[in-house]
Structure 1
Amino acid sequence: MEWTLAGLFVISALLLIVSILKSTRAAKAQHNQIDQIHISIMEEINALQSSIRNIELDQEVFMKEAGIHMSSEEKLFMREVLDLYDRKYSIDSIAEMKNVSSSTIQEMLAPYQAMKDEGRKVANEN
């Protein structure tokens, strides 16, 4: 009876050790997967940041070649107005949101409206 109890105790201790070793290995494998995902996400973020930097530099080059001189506040304002216009806000509502006159917004959007109207004309002619 004592030998049986001692044997069961030894077997349970061995099973506990095996269980701990397996869970440690599984945790290490999971940690390695998390590290790999983290590395790949960081590489994607770096690639996106590089692309954004290149686009910003291209934009500055185009603006200098075109002779357009705008401050960063003016660029931001223009971007916001274009975004609202692309989301189908009316010119009057954009002017009201930005606290400027409707004619100012109309002048800002004139080059972009002409391009959109020309595309519609070509599409409708066929």
Structure 2
Amino acid sequence: MEWTLAGLFVLSAVLLFISIIKTSHAAKVEHNEVNQIHISTMKEINAIQDSIRNIGLDIEVVIKETGIQLSSEEQVFMREVLDLYKRNYSIESIAGMKQVPESQIEQMLAPYQNVAVEGGNAAHAN
């Protein structure tokens, strides 16, 4: 009986030791996976930041080359108006939101509006 209890105690100690080793190994593997995901995410973030920086520099070059003089407030206003227009808001609703005349919004959006080709549509209608 004593040998059986001693054997069971030794067996339980061995199983506990094996369990601790396996748990430790699994934790290390999981930690490495988390590190790899973190590294890849940071690489993606850095790439996006580089792209944003390049876009900003491109815009600055285009503004300097074209000679457009807009204040930062005017740029923000123009960006907001163009964003609303690209999201299919009507010129009337944009003018109402921004509390400016519709003619001003139309003038601002004129270069960005799609010009429909009526002749091409009529020719293919028959």
TM-score by length of 1: 0.91
Shift of 1:100: 1.1
After the TM superposition, which residues 8-87 of structure 1 pair with which residues of structure 2 at under 5 Å, given as runs? Answer: 8-87=8-87
Structure 1 stretches of at least 4 aligned residues deviating more than 2 Å after TM superposition = 122-126
The amino acid across from 1:64 in the alignment is K
CA distance in 2, matches of 1:73, 1:41: 34
| Identity within the alignment, % | 64
Count how many residue pairs are aligned between Structure 1 and Structure 2.
Answer: 122
Which consecutive unaligned segments of at least 5 residues does structure 1 have? Answer: none
The amino acid across from 2:108 in the alignment is M
CA distance in 1, matches of 2:2, 2:8: 10
Counterpart in the other structure of 1:121: 117
Which consecutive unaligned segments of at least 5 residues does structure 2 have? Answer: none
CA distance in 2, matches of 1:25, 1:71: 59
CA distance in 2, matches of 1:12, 1:100: 81
The amino acid across from 2:53 in the alignment is R
CA distance in 2, matches of 1:42, 1:71: 34
TM-score by length of 2: 0.91
Counterpart in the other structure of 2:104: 104
Shift of 1:73: 1.6
